[in-house]
Structure 1
Amino acid sequence: MSVTNNYFAVVDIETTGKGLGGNRITEICIVRMHGTEIVEKYTTLIDPECLIPDFITSLTGIDNEMVATAPVFQDVAEEVERMTRDCIFVAHNVNFDYNIIRNEFKRLGHEFKRKKLCTVRLSRELIPGMNSYSLGRLCNSLGIALNNRHRAEGDTDATVSLFQRLLETEDCEATFEKFLKGTNKEGTFPPHLDRSQFSQLPDAPGVYLFKNQAHKVIYVGKAINLRKRVLSHFYTKKSKSYLMCQEIHHIEHIPTGNELVALLQEADLIRHYYPKYNNAQKKPRRAYQILYYKNQLGIIQFAVGLVKSYDSAIVTHYNRSHAVEQLEELCAEFKLCPKYCSLKVQDDCSSHYKIKNCKGVCKKEEMVSLYNIRANQAIEALRASNANYVIKQPGRTQHENCFILVKDGEYQGYGFVDQNVGISSLAECEDYIDRKTTNYHTNQILRSYLDKHNGQEIIYETLQAS
């Protein structure tokens, strides 16, 4: 029997819009077809057994009062099962409707399993070249009536008309066969994404940006292999990834040549765009500095403070305990006074739980000038810990090198340089750097890299031409 001569159940539902797991049906319409012929229609409001959010009411017009006397899904489950029995389940963006209905049956302890066809993907294949494949814009382009938009019956009637047109297109038989194959993963591909955009992704390191219909960035990710990583989003069964895929209309990618720059670029773009579906790296983290000043007694005093614009700040940390720990080590090494290192002591610095080697400046037993000599030595030691270096990485092509610059212990940015260009100093390297802002996340990325690679590919102070 011809594939297009099957029984089809064209379905549309309205829901409470609370994600896949908590999404409940408020209205359903099913049109049963045999080939292009309409056999039967069923439509009803459904009590979702939870409150309908205001934004859903403003979209669909369905409010809590309208569904107060409607049947719950359990009351209509038998009819839904009958209307779709022995049918291919058809919907515009089929995974959404199908998964919501399947979850409703699962709540009742029943399995719901049907073959599926998506009119979005069928339309892309059989009616190429449309500006948009959303139901509203597609129907408008094709001259298909769409009345009572965002209500189950109105959207189902329009989908039926679209589906009838698809059934009458040339080559529809082979296309339907392809999409009905159980091994075909096309059904999980974002319905609004042009496949040519995915096809352009390279098997190389970089950053990718998912954008919605308005070209707003909704997710930023990094990858060692861009094509493979992006594809993994499309085939996951997690609710968050599924919902994100329903919003993806465009993909942009930025080649980086190496994973380290991909990580740094990802952190920078998340901070810039604050994307809807990125959870990590969005929360701002405080930065702390070890700073120094001369107090009223002329003694050089150290402290840990939040980053502002201190001229006397020496070292920046993104964890206060790390800053205090470094200050304690400095105090012990240079025999400084815990009191004048702001390390929570009473008048008697000997009360510090760990540091006991103060020479008595706090008791006027040591000259301030002698104490300040050691304090200045400590300052120089801190400054020396702020190394200047670059991390050399592969470039975006085999003829290119990449350099990540760290100056005075702070991440400055990265740049790509042709291998024929000779660079012999950090100053020359700076001319090729795309300047970036350091933050907690870039600090952690670089620290993790240094710990993992134990100094490999790191060049201090001077550079040899590559």
Structure 2
Amino acid sequence: MYTIIDIETTGNGVKGNKITEISIFKYDGNQIVDEFTSLVNPQSPIPYFITGLTGIDDQMVQNAPTFLEISENIMSITEGCIFVAHSVNFDYGVIKEEFRQIGIDFTRKKLCTVRLSRKLIPGLNSYSLGKLCSAIEIPLTDRHRARGDAHATVLLFEQLLAKPDSETVFKKFLNARSQEATLPPHLPKSVFDRIPQKPGIYYFMNQKGEIIYVGKAINLKKRVLGHFYDKSRKEIQMCSETANIDFKLAGSELVALLMESAEIKRLFPPYNRAQKRMGKQYAIFSYEDRNGITHLAFNTIKGVPDPLKIFHNQTDCRAYLEEICKSFSLCPKYCHLQQTTSACSHHQITTCQGICKGEESVADYNGKVQEAIQHMKMLASEVRVIKEKGREPHENAIILIADGVYKGFGFIDTDIEISSLEDLTAFINPQKHTVETESILTQYLLKEKTTQIFNVAT
């Protein structure tokens, strides 16, 4: 038994998307055996553009029942039935959310007539309900009203059931483990199947071929599939628009992060949250106290007269200073990583040699601080190359940093010998140094203790 459903909504996103009209046809595989259709009071204003599309306005639903008042009707007519709709994840998601808001868990098996049509009626230019009905001569009246669209979907469903391979296709789509059932309605399974389980970046594209989202992943196929299981408003809307997916291999997570950042900056996809410059910059600096002890500390850039190293967020700044403190056996108290008037007792940094207890001389301690300062200055001016795994076994990925500035990345065959910076630069794909790339590389260099980092002769 099937219930073929269509809804009209206020169009404010899934969690704020309230139903204004619902139509349900109960269908036994041969004929309609029951129907429930009703306007619904969404208890929120209906936007003008929605009224222009559906004809439903605030006055029409003023005296209509609320979803709570018709919830028993919906539960009853759909009980034991397969939930069928055109782009089913939208209708099902909105109805499930309406039930959740009144404390009821609504769960039904689903079938999507968009995906079924793509499988059983291949080769059409469009699978939107209006164009699909026109192509296969299904009468469609009262377009963008729940009953008109639901009834047209019934007629479409009848045709799909009559197709020679329908039984096999329906069983496959109803299989809970079938990826086919989870894919966006406009995305061919063949496109998903060719996505590899490797690190890289991926592009979601709509039916016009426009890139609407860019992401990165260590495992491209697994990450892309994760979008289709996500039930958040943004993810459901994005996936409903996705008609194609492209990808580029990166070889490693670090290169994928850098590639993703560059592509977001270049394309500004609508479903990517803009990578905004953080409001405050922080810097590490040094000063000498009244006892002659040299301190390392950090503050906002405005409060630092002579910064040793600049960061675009406090987290990276503090993490870097913690590493310096550990590497040079400095005192957390005199690196301002612990606010105390007595000896240090930091939970992570235990390498202090006793300056805070009078067990280490000021001269010895200050000498170590100067070594740390020279180290920071040297890193800011040297040429550094990070070597990562390539896209294939026979190549390496390289990331070039010169004078503290990210220059770009590239891929080099393992058989090629690099002996100078000039040799290496020929393989580099130039990139812009941004707040995001600096943060990515800073965090990487702090965390990766075993990474292959080496200097190239200039």
Match of 1:105 in 2: 99
The one-letter amino acid paired with 2:60 is: M
The one-letter amino acid paired with 2:246 is: E
Distance 1:53 1:386 in 2: 57
Matched, 1:461 2:456: yes
Distance 2:178 2:393 in 1: 36
Distance 1:188 1:400 in 2: 35
Greater CA radius of gyration, 1 or 2? 1
Label 1:384 to 1:252 Cα distance change in 2 as closer, same or farther (>3 A): closer
SS class of match (1:39): strand
Match of 2:187 in 1: 193
How many angstroms does 1:224 deviate by? 1.1
Contact in 1 for aligned 2:96/2:105 (Cα 8 Å): yes
Match of 2:48 in 1: 54
Contact in 1 for aligned 2:111/2:174 (Cα 8 Å): yes
Distance 1:270 1:133 in 2: 30
How many angstroms does 1:427 deviate by? 1.8
Which of these residues, 126, 135, 138, is aligned with residue 129 of structure 2?
135
How many angstroms does 1:425 deviate by? 1.1
Matched, 1:65 2:56: no
Which of these residues, 166, 170, 176, is aligned with residue 170 of structure 2?
176
Distance 1:319 1:204 in 2: 31
Contact in 2 for aligned 1:315/1:383 (Cα 8 Å): no
Which of these residues, 415, 422, 425, is aligned with residue 420 of structure 2?
425
- Deviations 1:40-68 (CA, angstroms, capped at 9, x unpaired): 43322111011122332233232212211
SS class of match (2:15): helix
Contact in 2 for aligned 1:405/1:433 (Cα 8 Å): yes
TM-score by length of 1: 0.75
Match of 2:339 in 1: none
Match of 2:248 in 1: 254
- Deviations 1:9-44 (CA, angstroms, capped at 9, x unpaired): 211001122232222110111122221323343322
Matched, 1:212 2:199: no
Contact in 1 for aligned 2:309/2:376 (Cα 8 Å): no
- Equivalences for residues 352-363 of structure 1 within 5 A: none
Contact in 1 for aligned 2:45/2:58 (Cα 8 Å): yes
The one-letter amino acid paired with 2:202 is: Y
Label 1:225 to 1:108 Cα distance change in 2 as closer, same or farther (>3 A): closer
Match of 2:395 in 1: 400
Contact in 2 for aligned 1:287/1:440 (Cα 8 Å): no
Which of these residues, 376, 385, 388, is aligned with residue 383 of structure 2?
388
- Deviations 1:357-386 (CA, angstroms, capped at 9, x unpaired): xxxxxxxxxxxxxxxxxxxxx999957732
TM-score by length of 2: 0.76
Distance 2:376 2:75 in 1: 76
How many angstroms does 1:92 deviate by? 0.8
- Deviations 1:56-113 (CA, angstroms, capped at 9, x unpaired): 2233232212211222123323333343344322111222212322333333444433
Distance 2:99 2:450 in 1: 57
Match of 1:231 in 2: 225
Match of 2:276 in 1: 283
Match of 1:374 in 2: none
The one-letter amino acid paired with 1:282 is: Q
Identity level (%): 46
Match of 2:15 in 1: 21
Distance 1:99 1:424 in 2: 58
Label 1:106 to 1:288 Cα distance change in 2 as closer, same or farther (>3 A): closer
Match of 2:435 in 1: 440
How many angstroms does 1:206 deviate by? 0.3
Match of 2:3 in 1: 9
- Deviations 1:154-178 (CA, angstroms, capped at 9, x unpaired): 2112211110100110021222222
The one-letter amino acid paired with 2:431 is: K
The one-letter amino acid paired with 1:226 is: L
Distance 2:84 2:213 in 1: 29
Q: List alignment gaps of at least 5 residues for structure 2.
A: 284-299, 325-372
How many angstroms does 1:116 deviate by? 2.2
Contact in 1 for aligned 2:175/2:181 (Cα 8 Å): no
Label 1:214 to 1:316 Cα distance change in 2 as closer, same or farther (>3 A): farther
- Deviations 1:236-264 (CA, angstroms, capped at 9, x unpaired): 33343233222211111011112111010
- Deviations 1:330-383 (CA, angstroms, capped at 9, x unpaired): xxxxxxxxxxxxxxxxxxxxxxxxxxxxxxxxxxxxxxxxxxxxxxxx999957
How many angstroms does 1:149 deviate by? 2.4
Distance 1:319 1:90 in 2: 49
Contact in 1 for aligned 2:301/2:310 (Cα 8 Å): no
Comparing 187-196 and 234-243, the one that deviates more: 234-243
| Corresponding pairs, count | 387
Match of 1:345 in 2: none
- Deviations 1:239-292 (CA, angstroms, capped at 9, x unpaired): 43233222211111011112111010111112222233323x6212469799xx
The one-letter amino acid paired with 2:275 is: K
Distance 1:273 1:223 in 2: 18
Match of 1:356 in 2: none
Distance 1:222 1:384 in 2: 29
Matched, 1:416 2:396: no
SS class of match (1:22): coil
